[in-house]
A and B are shown apart, each in its own frame.
Chain A
């Protein structure tokens, strides 16, 4: 069956399509909507930002998200609404945001501008993430000309715009329910709608590539030029998007996007919120999923260290049922996860940390926003009468997988919560890890700052300022 989506409210049915063709190329070369630009084809520059809408859970409104069209595959549009920079102007006349930007010197070369327009327009109509500070909303939009000031000013000036999605809600309700599938030059693709459908497909195609947000797989195609034989797009599988907040735990379905998990995680602990703010740019957090970040097993993924330190568990699902394992046991070796053929991540359960636990999460990278960690450290300590009685310490960027630091933990437990203990535990990290040197940092730097994160944790507990991000000019 063909995919169907709405472009400016008009239904588009695509019958024959390359399942790994990008939304960007479709817009530019099939629709002549050339306002959406390719800057990098890997989701890092935001010049291709579009807004994609789907029915909210209650079916009452359209939930819009800013996404990078360069790494959105066409079948991922199925059942959704698409808005591009061309959608905003009426008879060639710019909308209020566009007019403000034009008058304010917000564009110089203009190439990144449509992407900024879409990110800011999304914010103005209440798209996902629009309650974040302005600089966060555009952290995934690179501009090389302006220095950003006139763009941020325009965003502040036009912070709200009316958006009437009444007709769109009705139209989306008509096209959103059914799945889709097809074949293109011998390559099969599927858009299942239920967990049972997904299980059945994986029984037939256990080697299929599962695509949720495509923030990683997208690059296999745009950069690696890989041809994926069988692709199952799981973004629309009902039941994989569960969110349960109980007194004991936060349960997140594998398909919960990072942007949606962000406020929930921030409620568990502010450091988790900050970590997820810096996880990736909003466009990537709007696409990438909690389950995808775990399942692809990256040694530098920012989710697993924090979740391991919190003692998260993973529920894995297949046609033959469910099993539950500790997240830390999921990562076997570089590129190897404890995932059997036909099995997929269904949920992750994050225990709610004790109120008196000492928690710290730190991401170190060359740039604060939209960068990959050199080192990501997560610490959950239990203290009783000044003694460390429990320690869960996990790192990313330090080994072939995200994993716990057992020697470090051993150096903490039973010791007084004091600077000497932190220094000793930091030294013990050398027994836990032999990190690599790569473009993000040398082995020596990684070991040194990983140890210093324990000092940071301790000093912060003593009320000291430990982050440059919390500072203002000396003038206030």
Chain B
């Protein structure tokens, strides 16, 4: 690996300054340009999809005459017009750009309209007359399960003998519950602008987290080489996993029209079409049997995870794998069997979303913790602590050693700083006295594995230019979607040369600058690209050191880069002077850099190995109130302690933590996807799909960073931060469960609450818990 220069170590393992997001000044003035903001050439074509009205059907006829005749329409394309591969899928070659003879989910693109205006294209797209011969549609998980319709065989991760341990356990419980999916609701919808170049080349400005994949798929679709296709991403208006694989569809459509017509082409999906036609987080059904001792220590777990993955494979195998990887969360599971069923349904293919299956697996085990605690009538936090990884109990179900188990310390710290026990006692007293409103509090931890579990993806490249005036351009494979990877990497580069951050210019991510990149995903952006940029910058720096040592007749150790300037023996120069002299001295001031995460390996057949380089941790306390007449509820207070190692940028990291938490809170409370029995998504706009607003943010919200550093030699000993905080919001769901349970405090059953905990679901759980109490 690209081990960091030992000379930097001491300086780098400290909290870095909170430089604002590199585009903050552009965001606030409205001058940050997104794909749709680029000036439109006069001959630009605007595109719209004609979308399937059936969930599963053969296309027996297509009459597109009215579409072609509509005002402004220049061209209409179907699958037959695609020059080469009709494939926009990441792995399994089963996602079509345009339906070919068959539709497999409602809203699937069937034909593509190119017109002189967006309005004309949208209007024309509604005029297509498609004749369908409906086929039996598997819309629900139950239907798919009954038909044994799977995207891949059910996966099993196991250790020990769960059945035997279960049989021998002093106490046993069984349960089940469901959790919903989630729409990404990035504020900038999917968009791509394709511009034809000379000799068949195409240039794309795509709102994508995965420029290299878009490049490869477009090349394959058009019968070009990767060298013929350039994909550029300056920034996205949010992504959250929704622009990892899903952007390819929009990009390929734009590229097809650009290639066919020789005119620039833009596809910007309308919000409703975006929500209907692109993938979402996987919903999950969970079932379990758990055995434990009288103190609540888990002895055996048989866990069933089942998710409808939609109509195509997409990334569902890896996503469901990650659900299994995180079904332990911070807890030691001695004898365990996890069965993960991946259902194929006639709904839009589920896809990556912040946490990538992790939240679903983690919610399962936290629900089990609540169930056991409720059954034993003990404080759920004590039960959680009793089950944490500990010396001698420190390997995961997939046999990775938990090397830096800081969860116990973090939980203890947060328990004290949030005055958890005092508040829990006060809440019990409040509930005893309050007829309508019940409160609940919960502390849940997070342990999240960092690395792509598909090992080869853990690599990154960077390209750095130092110009003769001392200014620096940095480019790398990471894409900027708001998470601040550009400023973090710029800080790394500025540090290497000890120059002010203003000297470093971040440039758009482009496949012609850094090739063969992985998606900016799995929270890996700063880890991988920061290291690659560090490598590139260090190479240039080493050349400068050699040059200065030669020039000024000093030893290399006597060349020092400091904020005050560069010292070379007795000489003192500005960085600009160094760059100028090096250029005159014919020293290369440009370098690529590369990084591949070391030490990871995973045997997917056996579901054993070390899929993760390290774990990131966190813990959160949530306090909620529930209205037992209506099911309405509110998050009143949240205290978070989160581990980012030695932070590269505390303000950026705290932003990720708060934003991730609120997004997780939305997933578990207000955000509900509703499908009808024909497989049509009914909640396809912000009128019906409700992400949190400012007032849903708890009035009391504290975030503290854990004072630590990564045990592994990551950049600055920092840790990834994109996904882990999302799962801190599981504390909201646990607190809601506890508030609901307070309507019948003597009852030892777990209130039957599913996610998202909408008012209706909460009221249902209240009624069930009350009725159970009456029966008991």
A144 to B686, CA, bound (A): 12
Q: How many pairs, one residue from A and one from B, have CB atoms within 8 Å of each other in the complex?
A: 295
The interface-forming segment of B1-9, B387-395, B627-635, B706-714 is B627-635
Task: Report A-chain residues with C-beta under 8 Å of the C-beta of B187.
Answer: 37, 39, 45, 47, 109, 111-112, 142-144
CA distance A108 to B652 in the complex (A): 8
Q: Which of A147-155, A172-180, A388-396 contacts B (4 or more CB under 8 A)?
A: A147-155
Given contacts A102-B20, A108-B483, A147-B661, contact A372 B687 (CB under 8 A): yes
Enumerate chain B residues within 8 angstroms of A28, measured Cβ to Cβ.
Answer: 36-37
A441 within 8 A of B: yes
Q: Assess A105 versus B21: contact at CB under 8 Å? Given A35-B30, A464-B435.
A: yes
Q: At the interface, yes or no: B236 with Cβ under 8 Å from chain A?
A: yes
Interface residues of B in 658-717 (CB under 8 A from A): 658-663, 670, 672, 674, 682-683, 685-688, 690-697, 699-701
- Check B34 against A151 for contact (C-beta < 8 Å): no
The answer on a CB contact under 8 Å between A111 and B652 is: no
Provide the residues of chain B in CB contact with A92, threshold 8 Å.
29, 31
Q: Once bound together, how far apart are the Cα atoms of A114 and B32, in whole Å?
A: 10
Shortest C-beta distance, B142 to chain A (Å), equals 19
Q: Mark A99-124, 1 if CB is under 8 A from B, else 0.
A: 10111011111111110010000000
A274 at the interface (CB under 8 A from B): no
Question: Does the CB pair A113–B27 fall under 8 Å?
Answer: yes
What's the minimum C-beta distance from B276 to chain A, rounded to whole angstroms?
A: 12
Distance of A150 Cα from B39 Cα, bound (Å): 32
Chain A positions 67 through 103: 1 when the CB is less than 8 Å from some CB of chain B, otherwise 0: 0000000000000000011101100101000110111
User: Is there an interface contact between A94 and B29, defined as CB atoms closer than 8 Å?
Assistant: yes
| Chain A, Cβ-Cβ closest to B270 | A41
Whether B439 pairs with A474 at a CB distance below 8 angstroms is: yes
Which of the residues A34, A41, A146 comes within 8 Å of B271, measured between beta carbons?
Answer: A41
- Docked-complex contact B28 and A449, CB < 8 angstroms: no
The CA-CA distance from A88 to B30 in the complex, in Å, is: 10
Interface mask (A436-473 → B, CB under 8 Å = 1, otherwise 0): 00111110010011001101100100001111110111
> A142-B686, A148-B662, A468-B627 in contact; A442/B30 too (CB < 8 A)?
no
Q: What B residues does A86 contact at CB under 8 A?
A: 29-31
A142 & B693 in contact (Cβ 8 Å cutoff):
yes
Q: CB of A138 within 8 A of chain B?
A: yes
B237-290 at interface with A (beta carbon < 8 Å): 237-240, 270-272
Cβ-based interface call for B228 (8 A): no
B12 within 8 A of A: no
A20 to chain B, nearest CB (A): 10
> Looking at the complex, which one of B427, B670, B688 makes contact with A474 (CB distance below 8 Å)?
B427
- CB <8 Å contact, A364 and B30: no
Question: Cβ of B237 and Cβ of A37 under 8 Å apart?
Answer: yes
Given the complex, which residues of A lie within 8 Å of B651, measured CB to CB? 105
Q: Chain A interface: which of B568-576, B600-608, B756-764?
A: B756-764
Residue of B nearest to A93 (CB): B29
Q: Are A439 and B652 in contact (CB under 8 A)?
A: no
Asked whether, in the complex, the Cβ of A148 is within 8 Å of the Cβ of B694, the reply is: yes
**Once the chains bind, are B482 and A149 in contact (CB under 8 Å)?**
no
Task: Give chain A nearest CB distance to B120 CB in angstroms.
Answer: 10
B636: contacting residue among A32, A85, A370, A472, CB under 8 A: A472
> Which of A37, A105, A112 contacts B654 (CB under 8 A)?
A105
Contacts of A16 in B (CB 8 A): none
Given A367-B692, A445-B763, A449-B631, A474:B430 Cβ within 8 A: yes
Q: Does A42 reach chain B (CB closer than 8 Å)?
A: yes
Q: How far is the CA of A110 from the CA of B27 in the complex (A)?
A: 5
Interchain CB contact under 8 A, B634 and A225:
no
- Chain A 363-382 against B: per-residue CB contact (8 Å), 1 yes, 0 no? 01011111110100000000
- CB nearest neighbor in A for B664: A147
Q: Is B159 an interface residue (CB 8 A)?
A: no
Whether the Cβ atoms of A366 and B690 lie closer than 8 Å is yes
Interface assignment of A325: CB less than 8 Å from any CB of chain B: no
**B694 to chain A: which residues have CB within 8 Å?**
134-135, 138-139, 141, 143, 148, 151-152, 369
B662 close to A468 (CB less than 8 A)? no
Asked whether A364 lies within 8 Å of B630 as measured between CB atoms, the reply is: yes
Residues of A within 8 A of B126 (CB): 225
Cβ B188 vs Cβ A474 within 8 A: no
Does A322 touch B at the CB level, under 8 Å?
no
A409, chain B: closest CB distance, angstroms: 20
Asked if residues A146 and B659 are in contact (CB atoms below 8 Å), the reply is: yes
Look across to chain B and name the residue whose beta carbon is closest to the beta carbon of A278.
B695
Q: Does A136 contact B (CB under 8 A)?
A: yes
State in angstroms the CA–CA spacing of A440 and B670 once bound together: 11
| Interface residue from A103, A139, A149 paired with B24 (Cβ < 8 Å) | A103
Q: Are A469 and B634 in contact (CB under 8 A)?
A: yes
CB distance from A184 to the nearest CB of B (A): 13
Q: Which residues of B contact A364 (CB under 8 A)?
A: 630, 632, 759
Inter-chain contacts of B188 with A (CB < 8 A)? 37, 39, 109, 111
A84-B30, A107-B28 given as contacts; is B696 within 8 A of A368 (CB)? yes
CA distance A40 to B29 in the complex (A): 21
Smallest CB gap from A109: residue in B: B482
Minimum C-beta distance from B636 to chain A (A): 5
Q: Which residue of chain B has the shortest Cβ distance to A459 in the bound complex?
A: B436
Please, which residues of chain A bring their CB within 8 A of the CB of B745?
Answer: none
B418 and chain A: residue at smallest CB distance: A475
A29 and B40 in contact, given A42-B271, A149-B701 (Cβ under 8 angstroms): yes
Pair B700/A475 contact, Cβ less than 8 Å? yes
A267 at the interface (CB under 8 A from B): no
What is the CA–CA distance of A465 and B696 in the complex, to the nearest angstrom?
20
- The contact of B29 among A35, A37, A103, A464, by CB within 8 Å, is A35
- Chain B residues, Cβ within 8 Å of A114: 27-28, 30
Contact B238 A468 (CB under 8 A): no
Are the C-beta atoms of A101 and B28 separated by less than 8 Å? yes
In angstroms, how far is the closest chain A Cβ from the Cβ of B353? 12
Nearest residue (CB) in B for A474 is B426
Given the interface pairs A44-B686, A45-B187, A439-B682, the reply to whether A370 lies near B701 with Cβ below 8 Å is no
Q: Let me know if B699 and A473 touch, CB within 8 A.
A: yes
Residue B626 interfacial (CB < 8 Å)? yes
Bound-state CA distance A369–B25 (Å) is 29
Q: Is the CB of A468 within 8 A of B655?
A: no
Interface residues of B in 412-430 (CB under 8 A from A): 419, 423, 426-427, 430
Interface contact A473-B623, CB-CB below 8 Å: yes
* Complex contacts, A34 vs chain B, CB 8 Å: 30, 33, 36-37
With a cutoff of 8 Å between Cβ atoms, the chain B residues found around residue A441 in the complex are 760
Q: In the docked arrangement, what's the CA distance between A362 and B759, Å?
A: 14
Q: Which of B239, B634, B659, B663 gathers most chain A CB within 10 Å?
A: B659
Set B24, B239, B240: member contacting A107, Cβ < 8 A: B24
| B380 interfacial by beta-carbon distance below 8 Å | no
CA distance in complex: A362, B20 (Å): 43
CB distance from B743 to the nearest CB of A (A): 13
A145 contacts B659, C-beta separation under 8 Å: yes
Is A286 positioned at the interface, with any CB of B under 8 Å from its CB? no
Tell whether A40 pairs with B23 under 8 Å between CB atoms, given A109-B482, A369-B695.
no
Contact between B625 and A468, CB atoms less than 8 A apart: yes
B536 proximal to A (CB < 8 A): no
* A219 and chain B: residue at smallest CB distance: B687
Inter-chain CA distance A108–B694, complex, in Å, is 15
> Whose C-beta in chain A lies nearest to the C-beta of B626?
A468
CA distance A442 to B482 in the complex (A): 38
| Minimal Cβ-Cβ distance residue in A for B631 | A449
Given A105-B655, A466-B627; 16 other pairs, CB 8 A cutoff = A41-B271, A98-B29, A107-B482, A109-B482, A111-B186, A134-B694, A136-B695, A144-B185, A147-B701, A152-B697, A367-B670, A367-B690, A370-B693, A438-B682, A445-B764, A453-B630
The 3 closest A-B pairs by CB, nearest first: A35-B30, A109-B482, A111-B237
Question: What are some 25 contacts across the A-B interface (CB < 8 A)?
Answer: A40-B271, A45-B686, A99-B28, A105-B651, A109-B238, A109-B482, A117-B28, A144-B186, A145-B655, A146-B659, A147-B660, A225-B126, A364-B630, A368-B632, A374-B760, A439-B683, A439-B688, A441-B760, A448-B763, A456-B436, A464-B436, A465-B434, A471-B625, A473-B623, A473-B636
